[in-house]
Each structure stands twice: as structure tokens, then as C-alpha cells.
Amino acid sequence: MNTTVAMNITKSEKSRISEIDFNNLAFGSVFTDHMFFCDYVDGAWQQPQIAPYGPISIDPSAKVFHYGQAVFEGMKAFKDDEGATWLFRPEENWERINKSSDRLAIPEFPKEYFFDGLKTLLHLDNEWIKSGDGNSLYIRPFVIATQSGVSASPSDRYRFMIICAPAQAYYSGEVSVLFAEKYSRAADGGVGFAKAAGNYASQFYPTNLAKEKGYQQIVWTDASTHEYLEEAGTMNVFFRVGNTLLTAPNNDRILDGITRKSIIQLAKDAGIDVQVRRVSVSEIVTAATSGELKEIFGAGTAAVVVPFKSFGYQEKDYDLPSIEDSYASKFKKALKDIQYNRASDPHGWRYEVK
């Protein structure tokens, strides 16, 4: 393994891997033996470290608890049938966490620290990455403000960390969604485009209300009028009307999803008419009523591609047809074949961890 960054590594005395039932994993609940961290002190990122996974000590007055300076990423490692380990478009994750950090006045994290730390961590915990379709290692980079004190100002100390969790499917079973009519995920000029921790906290309450009605997710609408569909709680959203694929354009309310942009490219490669434009609620309701709405599916790192069976709006449910050769299944297979090194990679998305 070629690394360029000096790193302090403390290995775990005993692996916990023998205690794990890899056939029964609740997403994001079991973590590997090691974690990466690096502190920002006196205006500079210090020497990166890897240590056994475990609790960290932090002052109760740390600014992350009081002012919410926290951003994160989600990415995965895959192991092919030959035992090689692959990442999918990891440079996009590094760029996006720094874009998120910049919006929350957090210093950017150096690229060489990110990649060297990630590769070293994946080599140490390589046995946790299982081969086989559907198996992966979910990787969670994040950064938090650690300066002590409750003055309302940006922190001058931060901790960047990477933790990893073996994963299988994020969603099991069918998914029904509710189109938002009252609550909003993000507003113009806000932080919706960033993977800020608070974006997710603020949507838990309305999502719980939706779950009480039998829905698994909300598809958020624009905050100003609630007339245009934007993204779901944990995923970007695609709509298939006839044979045309629709998805909302990026703006300062919508996360620039890596899976989303990959699907747009795959659809173009397949000659599918892709329209990246504002998608109105009325347009989708009309298409569902006329039978022109063929599919709605979500796309994200954790979920990959998730077809929706129905959506609710204004106290009415609209069922979606079951399609054998769906776009959702087509793109999910194409993405996974690239991620697991089973197909050619014409766009250079795969990154081997050597």
C-alpha cells in the first residue's frame, strides 16, 4: 500500500469479527475494529491517527452540541469475487464533505489525509468487507466542532473521523412515500445542499408523522410553494413518465447525490430521455391518474436504488404499476455490476484500494 502521510496507528488487540452475524445486520449498528481520526488545532490539521474503535472523550460544552457544526459523508467499499476491494467515485465524497464543511465554516480536510487514512483503515479491517452481491462496507466520514465554550461563534477546534460498518440492504420490503404539503426539509439560501447533521434531525418529526400513516419516507417539496418535488429523506428521487426519466435539478436545497448523477449518466448511455428539471406535484398526480406514471424510485449510497410502490398526496394514495423490466432494476444492476467489478467501467468510477 502506497501512502504519503505519516500516521500514528494503534491496532486492536483482538478483533471482534468472530462475534458478528453477517447474515443478520441491522444497517449502521455494528462497526469494525478500527477508526480514523485527525484533530484541527491551532489553525492546522494535526497528524492523523488510527485507533481501536470505541468511545471518544469530549467536553460537554463542545460547540457541536450547542451550535450544530457537524457534517458527514456516506460511501461504500465493495469486494469482488477475486478478493479485491473497490470504492465508487470516492473523490466525489471528499469534494462534497469539503463543500459541506465550507458552508458550516469548518476547515477543509486535506485530500491526502482523507485517502491515505481511508486506505489504511480499509486494509486494517479488510476481513470485514465481505464479497457477494448485496454485501458491502458502509463508510462514514464526518467532522465535528470540539472547541469548549458556548459562545455563539465558529469553533477553532475540530475532529475529522472515519468509521465503518458492514452492511447489507438498507431497505427491505416495499416503500410507500408521502408528498410533503406542510413541512420543509430546506429553504432557499440554506444548507440543504450540504450533508449537515441538522438537515436530518429536522426531518425526523414530520417523517414520524408520515410513518404513523403507513409511509416510510417523505418526498420533500419546495419550501416556498410546496408545488415542486425535490428529494426524499435519505435519497434523491426519479420519476418515470412514459419512457422519460425526470429528476429535480440541483439547487441550494437539494443534495448533489453521487448515485443520482451516476444514474443520469447511465440513462444517457442507454439512450433514455432524461430531463433534469423542476417536477411539479400536479404533473406527477396527473400522470398517475392517466396511467403514464410508470415508476418512482429513490437513489442514494446506502439504499442504491429503491423502487416505491405508491405515493400519498392530499389524503389519497396512488399505486404504481409493477414493471418487469423497470428502470429501477436496470440501473440498480448496472451500478452494482460496476461497483463489484463485474462490468466495464467506461467513466472511471471504480477506485481500487491497493
pLDDT average, residue stretch 242-262: 95
> At 91, is the pLDDT very low, low, confident or very high (cuts 50, 70, 90)?
very high
pLDDT average, residue stretch 246-262: 95
User: Coil, strand or helix: which one is 230?
Assistant: strand
CB 67 within 8 A of CB 145: yes
Q: Which long-range contacts (CB under 8 A, 24 or more apart) does 197-206 make?
A: 197/68, 197/70, 197/71, 197/72, 197/142, 198/68, 198/70, 200/233, 203/233, 206/180, 206/182
- Say yes or no to pLDDT of 330 above 70: yes
- Give the pLDDT confidence of 93-102 residue by residue, as tens digits: 999 999 999 9
Please tell me the distance from the alpha carbon of residue 189 to that of residue 252, in angstroms, as a whole number: 6
Please tell me the distance from the alpha carbon of residue 255 to that of residue 231, in angstroms, as a whole number: 8
Domains of the chain in sequence order: 8-167 (3.30.470.10), 175-339 (3.20.10.10)
Please tell me the distance from the alpha carbon of residue 335 to that of residue 343, in angstroms, as a whole number: 9
- Give the pLDDT confidence of 139-164 residue by residue, as tens digits: 999 999 999 999 999 999 999 999 99
Nearest to 181 by CA among 315, 320, 289: 315
In one letter, which amino acid is 171? Y
